[in-house]
A and B are shown apart, each in its own frame.
Chain A
Amino acid sequence: MRTTIKSDKIPIKFENDIGLIRKYTREYSIEANFSLLDQTKIITAASELARNTFQYAKNGIATIELLKDEDKTGVSLFFKDEGPGIKDVNLAMQEGYSSISHLGSLGLGLPGAKRLVNEFYILSESGKGTEIKIIRWK
């Protein structure tokens, strides 16, 4: 049974919040005893998603949790925003998809981030916002 040992909420409002989320992710993954490689993977995935939220939604919140499931320890991050949402999630999850915005052609990096974690969930609707959850287990 999955339990949350500790958790923190980090608002994503300013550019510095991306670095703050990385910091929390590093602390949590060290506490979960992740190898350096696994730490790097989840921190990089967190950075990608945090940056997406900041760039596209301009306002959002990240919830980080230290999880325990039987003898497994894990770190999860939940990103929620009320931004524009993704029109076609299936398309966004395909390789090579990039959205064109006023910032130029920028990939959402979702397929890449998904490969770095064990569990990846996404819920998004155009005009309603986006929710993404990632979990990496030791």
Chain B
Amino acid sequence: METVPIIKIDEFLIVPVQIELNDEIMRNLQEKLVKLIKSLTPKGVLIDLSAVTMIDSFMARTIGNLASLSKLFDAKTVVVGIQPEIAITLVEMGVTLKNVTTALNVEKGMEMLRTNKNYENNNKIR
């Protein structure tokens, strides 16, 4: 089974999603990520979805759960790279990413995690 890599950079975890997300992969990612957050206690987690071509409500919920779980371990989560077509589809379906802060790309996402700038505001708008 393919897995999603989790990369540690300084006090952050980066999750570049390069494969199609099916249910099994999402569950394994959740399990792996929670274990790593617990053992490494990163300041933040950045999930890069720029290679993802479809997000349904289950995936959105799982991503939301990841963010909530990270929060429990005092780590902030930023999701970046959601493709416009996916964003439009999610909005039209009425699916919201609860507790999830988003940024346009990896650079902006990292900046958000490092400096805490815009992170709190982004969360409040939701």
Give the B-binding residues of A (Cβ under 8 A).
15-16, 18-19, 22, 36-37, 39-41, 43-44, 47-48, 51, 95, 107, 109, 111-113, 115-116
Contacts and interface: CB of A to CB of B under 8 A. Distances in A.
Contacts of A19: 20, 22
Contacts of A37: 85, 88-89
Which 8 pairs from chain A and chain B are nearest by CB?
Answer: A112-B93, A40-B85, A47-B56, A19-B22, A37-B85, A109-B57, A40-B89, A44-B89
B93 A116 contact: yes
Interface centre among A18, A40, A107, A113 (most CB of B within 10 A): A40
Q: Is the interface of B mostly helix, strand, loop or mixed?
A: helix
Contact of A22 (B54, B86, B89): B54
Contacts of B23: 15, 18, 51
Given A39-B85, A112-B93, A115-B94, 9 more contacts: A19-B22, A22-B54, A37-B88, A40-B53, A41-B89, A44-B93, A47-B56, A47-B58, A112-B57
A36 B57 CA distance: 19
A44 B55 CA distance: 7
Contacts of A107: 57
B92 interface: yes
Contacts of A115: 92-94
A50 to B, nearest CB: 9
Nearest to B59: A47
B22 A112 contact: no
B85 A36 contact: yes
7 contacts: A18-B23, A19-B20, A37-B88, A47-B54, A48-B57, A109-B57, A116-B93
Interface centre among B20, B23, B24 (most CB of A within 10 A): B23
Contacts of B93: 44, 48, 109, 112-113, 115-116
A53 B108 CA distance: 39
A116 B89 contact: yes
Contact of B22 (A16, A36, A40, A41): A16
